[in-house]
Amino acid sequence: MKLFSSTPGKPPTPTPPAAAVTKAAVQVPPPAPSGVNPQVHHVELGSGEGGGKLWIDQAYRFKGALIVAGWCTADAELNLLSASDTLQGRRVAVPRPDVASHFTLPSGEGLGFVLVAHAEPGTTVRLGWEMRRDGQHGSSDPLRFTTKVPTAGADLAVLGPALGLLALTQKPHSPGWLDLIARAPVATSPCRTAKGFLEGSAACDTTREGVVVGWVVNTPGTVVWLEDDTGRTYPLTQAFRRFRQDVHDAVGQEFGHASRDAGFIVRVRGLKAGSKLQLKAVAETGVHVLSEISCSTLPLDPVGAARWLFAVGTPLADMHRRVPQIDEPLLGPLIARRQAVWDELPLEGRALGQLPAEPAVSVIVPLYGRIDFVEHQLIEFSRDPGFQQQAELIYVIDDPKLLDSFPALAESLHRLYRLPMRWVWGSVNRGFSGANNLGVRVARAPRLMFLNSDAFPQRPGWLKPLLDVLDRHPRIGAVGPRLTFADGAIQHAGMEFMRREELGVWVNHHPFMGLDPLLDPHAGLTRLPAITGACLAMRRADFERIGGWDTGYLIGDFEDSDLCLKLRAEGLDIAYLPDVQLTHLERQSFKLLGQDEFRTRVVLYNAVRHQTRWAGLIDQPVAPAPLDA
């Protein structure tokens, strides 16, 4: 390691490795007869016990910061002076075993120093000292600074952990900061200003989106970040932070209020599965590695990825903040990627019987999980002459497990009830919205009726009144009937949007659920904020104008209200017709997905997406208003 500079203007003397330094290699040049210049000659500080020598190895200006590195064997306080003022700065001690060896001192600890301070360009700066033993003080001639900071070798080693201190003078993740962090040595001592741990990490190589989970606490002035094995850094400034009682209990006494929001979940762009991630901190003692983890693979399947993400504990009351920050940016591209190939997939299907040549309405029924309700529907449809004359019945298989059984069942039921129908399979599960859109692709009628497989008309002639509403009211974009439970109580008499303040979301609310139909306050055709998609009629032209059902929701929920809000955004009304009534067993097939905590978080995910899409419309009240039938 270099101890003394050569005379200015001459090439520098080669510096031997620290382990090979001898007394001859550190021959002290004689003091200069004029001035005190520790950049050219050593300076004698004091005498006897506590006295010693002072030398400056390097002096740099770096983006507004001053860096002075050297060694001092005297018991003295060192600082940088501007005129008569002491510059505010920091000092880092650097071990100098070479100096200790030359001067036969017991230890090199604390002999090296690096001073870092700030000064305006052009400021004259001197090195000052004060002897601790007798208080004598002095200062050097004005220092000469260079702007070229070393990048390698012994010159860089002289700066030691002060490179980390110097990095604290730069804006985190700026080019200057990145340059210093890359050069700074990793500290071997424990970090006293930050603690943290990485608990999980996953990334999708297809979308290059990832997520990292863990906790970290740090004191003000300490910068923490993530870094992969290529040296790329990721800030934690955009992390979703959360309270962790376990962390607060462990380090709260040491870090105080800083431990309140220790837990973090951060979305990381460009992260690669299989890479190694480190949680790092930079403090006065240098760069510290707090924790490291290998990045696992995030499933390409959106539901599988959601299960991984939603397993990261977050209070339900905080999910509305987390979803737009973390979950939707990760899951949205996976959902879009899955759907990008749908139009290219082959369709499979068959028409059974002679369907109407020019149907007035296409009745589209998605099938998922269960097919035992189909016969109950066909019984009701076959008793309805109007249905047989007007409707094109289309069953959309949306579950690969049904593909082996439903075609044979459809053949059998067609022979039994003699009701023409068509079924179609789109090669993959597409969800409620995707199945409905697929049904429209093969439909031929100018009007569409979307019907759940567990919804059954209570009497013949139910279709015509709903279609008549669309014919007579061009400003109505969608119309739906009353739905009741099997026991006759109201299940659906229109929907409204209700704010759940404790969860921070707007939800779909059925205000009259469970009441006797006689208590339904709506008499005749009524304008409402939204209706359910379990039984909804609309014009095909309006369907195509709004782009159909939105397929961006996870598994389900809010798709029907989203469709209604699309129509309302086009200036169309949503209508409810209580004169028509169906029995609805309320999402029996959908309940196969479960009602656990994962399902609850799916609902919250979709609620946040829904209210984000329709901010400014969802919170506008729509008072029920009668419409001329």
**What does the pLDDT look like over 429-467, one tens digit per residue?**
999 999 999 999 999 999 999 999 999 999 999 999 999
CATH of the domain at 242: 2.60.40.10
State residue 383's pLDDT score. Answer: 95
* Domain end marker among 307, 339, 371: 339
Please check whether residues 447 and 580 belong to one and the same domain: yes
What's the pLDDT score for residue 587? 55
Flag whether pLDDT at 29 surpasses 50.
Answer: no
Cα separation of 309 and 329, whole Å? Answer: 12
pLDDT above 90 (res 552): yes
Question: What confidence score (pLDDT) does residue 535 get?
Answer: 97
254 to 188, 197, 218: CA distances (angstroms): 21, 16, 10
Q: Name the band, by pLDDT with cuts 50, 70 and 90, for residue 175.
A: confident
Q: Where are the alpha helices (DSSP H) in 174-266?
A: 175-183, 245-255
Judged against a pLDDT cut of 70, whether residue 7 lies above it is answered with no
pLDDT band at 15 (very low <50, low <70, confident <90, very high): very low
Average of per-residue pLDDT across 310-324: 93
**Domain match, 399 and 317 both:** no
Residues 326 and 450 placed together within one structural domain of the fold? no
Residues 257 and 118 in one domain: no
Q: How confident is the model at residue 1 (pLDDT cuts 50, 70, 90)?
A: very low
Which domain covers residue 74, as residue numbers? Answer: 18-149
580 domain residue, yes or no:
yes
Q: Same structural domain for residues 330 and 377? A: no
Mean of the per-residue pLDDT values for the chain?
87
What CATH number does the domain containing 371 carry? 3.90.550.10
Report if residue 7 sits inside a domain: no
Collect all residues with Cβ–Cβ distance below 8 Å to 275 and sequence separation of at least 6.
203, 228, 229, 230, 294, 295
**Same domain? 331 vs 394:** no
Examine residue 4 and state whether it is found in any structural domain, yes or no.
Answer: no
Instruction: Give the end of a domain, one of 298, 324, 339.
Output: 339
Is 50 exceeded by the pLDDT of residue 197?
yes
Examine the domain organization and report whether 320 and 416 are in the same domain: no
The verdict on residue 84 lying in a domain is: yes
Do 382 and 328 have their domain in common?
no
Q: Are residues 256 and 373 in the same domain?
A: no
Residue 305 has pLDDT above 60, yes or no: yes
94: helix, coil or strand? strand
Domain assignment present for residue 48? The answer is yes
275 in a domain, yes or no? Answer: yes
Highest mean pLDDT pick, 23-32, 140-149, 507-516? 507-516
pLDDT of residue 253: 86
pLDDT number for residue 432: 95
User: Of 318, 339, 360, which marks where a domain is finished?
Assistant: 339
Do 334 and 388 fall into the same domain?
no
Among 471, 477, 489, CA closest to 581: 489
- Is the predicted pLDDT of residue 280 greater than 70, yes or no? yes
Exposed/middle/buried for residue 78 (C-beta within 10 Å: 0-12, 13-18, 19+): middle
Asked if the model's pLDDT at residue 567 lies above 70, the reply is yes
Asked whether residue 9 is assigned to any structural domain, the reply reads: no
Phi/psi region, residue 72 (left: phi>0; alpha: psi -120 to 50; beta: rest), is: beta
477 shares its domain with 621: yes
Return the pLDDT at 9: 31
User: Residue 96 maps to which CATH number?
Assistant: 2.60.40
**Number of Cα atoms under 13 Å in the Cβ half of residue 310:** 22
Do 90 and 138 have their domain in common? yes
Number of independent structural domains in the chain: 3
Global confidence as pTM:
0.80
Q: Are strands 194-204 and 296-297 parallel, antiparallel or unpaired?
A: parallel
70 part of a folded domain: yes
Q: Please state which of the ranges 28-37, 104-113, 136-145, 158-167 shows the lowest mean pLDDT.
A: 28-37
Please calculate the CA angle 80-220-62 and round it to the nearest 5 degrees.
40
